[in-house]
Structure 1
Amino acid sequence: MSSTGKMILGSLVTDLCDEIGLMAPDNLFDAEDDFARQLLAILHKLGRELCANYGWPQLKKMVTAAGDAVEDFDRFVNRSKKEYYSTFWVEGADGLRKEKASRLDDRFLFSDSVMQNGLKYMLLETKGLESSNAFAQFQQAVHNGLSQANYAHQKNLDLGFLDGSKPSGTSLHPFGL
């Protein structure tokens, strides 16, 4: 299970605008289009807040060389000084991670549901429109997204033994069943 969402930026914005009855911008990266700039600013704020406020396993990285500074450092994981959370939440078509979306075919390290509901909530809130239902949906999407991402991460750890075996008595069910 990939932790990267399947939806590309262009589809995310088009679907959101269709859902709430707004005209999608022709070019999201058009500096002259105020709505496009606003959508992009909200999207980047959403990404920064998701990185900073939650422990997403898909953002965990290891420092590979002692003393080397990393450009995507956000904070250490459990004060380990080896594992850290990255600020790179966007994945380009080339597979490289980055801090901001810059192309319509960029994907996100968060689930489609988290991105759709988060962008919807933040856009409605920014526009001064009723957003309480959108906020509840976003909270639920984050909860579900974290649960799924942590389960997938744990499943990969459970299956990652050197000899390929799984220890007896270990269950991959999230509730140990």
Structure 2
Amino acid sequence: MKKCQILMMMRDKPGIMSKVTGLFSKRGFNIDGITCGVCEDKEYFRITITVIGNKEYVEQVRKQVAKLIDVKKVEILDDEKVVKRELALIKVKSDSKTRIEITNIVDIYRAKIIDLSHEALIIEITGDSNKVEGLIGVMDKFGILEVTRTGISAMHRTEIIKL
């Protein structure tokens, strides 16, 4: 079992997310993560859904989604041919004694501190899921107050042009 991303391009109509999530619910499919929004063609909505399963399970999800009326394109993204990123905001307990150590760790992960108070700070990190998980794991010892994650956004790599 592994995490896979399924890319969907769907006509941007009211209720389109309800159709997609309803299909998942009706078929007993589980959504591990989801990102969506308008894309380069304003008529269409781009949805990236992360599911966990074997090849057959993921292919079944793809086939079911492809049956929806407003679907333009559905494909299973190949890990080797895509760039994936996730955004997370992490609120961590912080005081004058721990702030410098936390700041140093944030710098190592190439993350940013975007909000600061006397009791806590909020860190923004963007990267692959392993990087996000790594920072969350390290920050755990300071006391994580809140975490929010966007889910994975993915895009095909550009072709290498041979001259």
TM-score normalised by L of structure 2: 0.30
* Greater fraction strand: 2
TM-score normalised by L of structure 1: 0.28
Q: Highest relative contact order (Cα 8 Å, sep 6+), 1 or 2? A: 2
